[in-house]
Amino acid sequence: MFRARELRPGIFWVGALDPDRQQFDALTPLPEGTSYNSYVIRGQTQTALIDTAEPARAAEFFGRLESLQLPRLDLVISNHAEQDHSGLLPEILRRYPEARLLATPKARKLLPDLLDLPLDRFDEVADGETRDLGGRTLQFWHAPWVHWPETMMTLLPEERILFSGDLFGSHLATHDLFLADPARVEQAASRYYAEIMSPFRAQIRKYLERIATIDLELIAPSHGPIHHQPAAILTQYRRWTREEPEPKVVIVYTSMHGSTRQMVDHLTGLLLLRGVQVEVINVEEMDAGRLCMAIVDAATLVVGSPMVLAGPHPKALYAVALIGALRPKLRFASFLGSYGWGGKLVEPFSLLLDKVKLEILPPVLAQGVPRAATLEALEGLADTIVQRHATLAPRHAAPTPGSER
């Protein structure tokens, strides 16, 4: 039996767990499943629902909602139009004909296209607008591009709770609404940030400034555990979203007959001897989430690939396409690889990274196995990376919680 979980008197979690889901967006692995968080807030005169759940988990969601035996539902708030949060809105509006659907103007345009919702059930909410539930107030903060253009967050100021939508979330299916293991939460939130939020770090920094004006007790995201010590996740986000990369090299490679692997191993050893942090990822069986996490704070990317039919290996191309889409903080990139008769290796990779503002360092290519000249060129590349890292801005300690106020 599915039952609602009370967070505070009159405030309930009515979401759904999806521990067996293996991928999100048919792209990123979910090693610990995920959850779809939805919340009911009762005031003295009105009751509100914030978001719904993935349609595949409808029985669980409606079981929890029905356990509250609500006589009516007045407001339905859509913080985010993506279907894992909005997919059950049509059934909600059917079951509760009195309910008004509150969303940003952009969401009002987007949701009818995604779910064929009737426009006459919508009320647009402005940034900062409030709704009185009777002794409790909902305030809506527009937060476009975390990670869609229509997103918003909902603040419950009397309880100092921020319902943050996808921001501050994690793909983690757990029955513990308030997870007691900080390391597990940080790991899951780090993966989530890297995969989904990292391209929008400039916008997120602005929202962090706004959030810093409120002394929050809870941050309740749309995925994963609720943050009962908000300072921890806010400090992590300040660190993740700043623009200065770490002097770290990520080497992404695949190898067919061992030549490219020899070059990668040699360069890795040279960098380690020079005191450079290195993470090596073989993309033959790549965990996209691990790649996203590795590249978040790295200053330098090195791509290693053999030539296949006069071009880069397709798996290496896929990895670089994903990196290019994430638009990370990278400052430098280089390429290495082995070829048989010839072809173009560097140009296809460079095109995939054209949205990332970086300097391309001299590539190192070998015909066949790497020989003395190739090893000497790798020495030069290692030296160049060290020199470029010396130009990076010094890292500053993350601000302490509340220091922006």
Average pLDDT of the residues of the chain: 93
pLDDT of residue 400 exceeding 60: no
Q: How far is CA 144 from CA 106, 152, 173, in A?
A: 9, 7, 26
Residues 75-127 have pLDDT tens digits of: 999 999 999 999 999 999 999 999 999 999 999 999 999 998 999 999 999 99
pTM of the model: 0.90
Confidence of residue 399 (pLDDT cuts 50, 70, 90): very low
CA 57 to chain centre: 22
Domains annotated for the chain, with CATH where assigned, are 5-241 (3.60.15.10), 246-386 (3.40.50.360)
Q: Would you say 16 and 57 are in contact if contact means Cβ atoms under 8 Å apart?
A: yes
Query: Of residues 28 and 214, which shows the higher confidence score?
Result: 214
pLDDT of residue 250: 98
Separation between Cα atoms, residue 144 and residue 147, nearest integer Å: 7
pLDDT of residue 299 exceeding 90: yes
Q: How far is CA 18 from CA 171, 220, 230, 258, 375, in A?
A: 10, 18, 24, 41, 49
pLDDT of residue 403: 38
Q: H-type helices in 68-136, by residue range? A: 83-86, 89-95, 105-115
Indicate the pairing of strand 130-132 with strand 311-312: unpaired
Please count the CA atoms within 13 angstroms of the CA of 136 that sit on its side-chain side.
21
Separation between Cα atoms, residue 230 and residue 87, nearest integer Å: 28
Give the residues across from 163 on adjacent strands. Answer: 154, 220
Query: Of residues 180 and 134, which shows the higher confidence score?
Result: 134
Q: Quick one: average pLDDT of 294-311?
A: 93
pLDDT of residue 261: 96
Q: Quick one: average pLDDT of 129-158?
A: 97
Separation between Cα atoms, residue 347 and residue 353, nearest integer Å: 10
Residue 18 phi, psi (nearest 5): -135, 70
Q: Would you tell me how many other CB atoms lie within 10 Å of the CB of residue 393? A: 9
pLDDT of residue 395: 61
Residues 190-242 have pLDDT tens digits of: 999 999 999 999 999 999 999 999 999 999 999 999 999 999 999 999 999 99
Confidence of residue 341 (pLDDT cuts 50, 70, 90): confident
Give the E-state strand segments of 37-105 in sequence order: 39-42, 47-50, 75-77, 100-103
Percentage of the chain beyond pLDDT 70 is: 97
pLDDT of residue 398: 45
pLDDT of residue 315 exceeding 70: yes
DSSP symbols for 196-235: IIGGGHHHHHHHHHHHTTS--SEEEESSS--BSSHHHHHH
pLDDT of residue 170: 96
